[in-house]
Amino acid sequence: MCKLLLGQTLSFSGDPFARPVDEVAHHENRGGVVIDGGKIVDVGPADAMRAAHPDAQVTDHGQALISAGFVDAHVHYPQTAIIASWGKRLIDWLNSYTFPEEMRFSDPAYAAEAARSYFDLTLANGTTTVCSFCTIHPESVDAFFAEAQARGLRVAGGKTCMDRNAPEGLRDTAQSGYDDSKALLGKWHGVDRLTYAITPRFSPTSTPEQLEAMGALWAEHPDCLMQTHLSEQTDEVAWVAELFPQARDYLDTYEQFGLLGEGGLYGHAIHLTDRERAQLKEVGASLIHCPTSNTFIGSGLFDMDGLTKEGQRIGLATDTGGGSSFSMLRTMAAAYEIGQLRGRPLHPAELWWLATAGSARALRMEDRIGTLAPGMEADLSVIDLASTPAITQRAARAETIWEAIFPTIMMGDDRAIRQVYAGGRACLG
Ligand code: GUN
Ligand code: ZN
Instruction: List, for residues 197-214, the tens digit of each pLDDT value.
Output: 999 999 999 999 999 999
What helix, strand, coil percent values describe the chain, rounded to 5? 45, 25, 35
Whether residue 316 has pLDDT greater than 90: yes
**What confidence tier does 281 reach under pLDDT thresholds 50, 70, 90?**
very high
The full set of domain ranges for the chain reads: 3-69+370-426, 70-362
What pLDDT, on a 0 to 100 scale, did the predictor assign at position 417? Answer: 98
Alpha carbon nearest to ligand 1 atom 8, residue: 322
Residue 270's Cβ-count burial label (10 Å; 0-12, 13-18, 19+) is buried
d(CA 176, CA 304): 38
**What confidence tier does 389 reach under pLDDT thresholds 50, 70, 90?**
very high
- By three-state DSSP, how is residue 393 classified? helix
DSSP 244: -
d(CA 276, CA 169): 34
The end-to-end CA distance of the chain, in Å, is 21
Residues 6+ apart with CB under 8 A from 343: 305
Give residue 323 CA to ligand 1 midpoint distance, Å: 10
Q: Is the CB of 364 under 6 A from ligand 1?
A: no
d(CA 125, CA 132): 16
Task: Answer whether CATH 2.60.40.2230 is correct for domain 70-362.
Answer: no
Share of the chain above pLDDT 90, in %: 100
**CB < 8 Å & 24+ apart, contacts of 242-251:** 243/203, 243/204, 244/203, 244/208, 248/275, 249/273, 249/275, 249/276, 250/203, 250/276, 251/275, 251/276, 251/279, 251/280
Q: What is the pLDDT of residues 326-357, one digit of tens each?
A: 999 999 999 999 999 999 999 999 999 999 99
What pLDDT, on a 0 to 100 scale, did the predictor assign at position 133? Answer: 99
Q: Is the CB of 319 under 6 A from ligand 1?
A: yes
Mean pLDDT, residues 225-237: 98
Helices (H) and strands (E) in the chain, counts: 18, 16
DSSP 264: E
What pLDDT, on a 0 to 100 scale, did the predictor assign at position 429? Answer: 85
Q: Which atom of ligand 1 is nearest to the CA of 236?
A: 1
Give residue 109 CA to ligand 2 midpoint distance, Å: 24
Mean pLDDT, residues 120-136: 98
Cβ atoms of residues 123 and 420 within 8 Å: yes
Q: Is the CB of 70 under 6 A from ligand 1?
A: no
Residue 368's Cβ-count burial label (10 Å; 0-12, 13-18, 19+) is middle
Give residue 319 CA to ligand 2 midpoint distance, Å: 5
Mean pLDDT, residues 303-316: 98
Whether residue 154 has pLDDT greater than 90: yes
Mean pLDDT, residues 142-162: 98
Mean pLDDT, residues 71-96: 97
Helical (H) or strand (E) element with 338:
helix 328-341
Give residue 105 CA to ligand 1 midpoint distance, Å: 17
Ion ligand 2 residue ranges (Cβ < 5 Å)? 267, 319
Q: Is the CB of 229 under 6 A from ligand 1?
A: yes
**What confidence tier does 394 reach under pLDDT thresholds 50, 70, 90?**
very high
Whether residue 61 has pLDDT greater than 90: yes
Q: Is the CB of 201 under 6 A from ligand 1?
A: yes
Alpha carbon nearest to ligand 1 atom 9, residue: 322
What pLDDT, on a 0 to 100 scale, did the predictor assign at position 1? Answer: 81
Alpha carbon nearest to ligand 1 atom 3, residue: 201
Q: Which amino acid is at 246?
A: Q
User: What is the architecture of the domain spanning 3-69+370-426?
Assistant: Roll (2.30)
**What confidence tier does 176 reach under pLDDT thresholds 50, 70, 90?**
very high
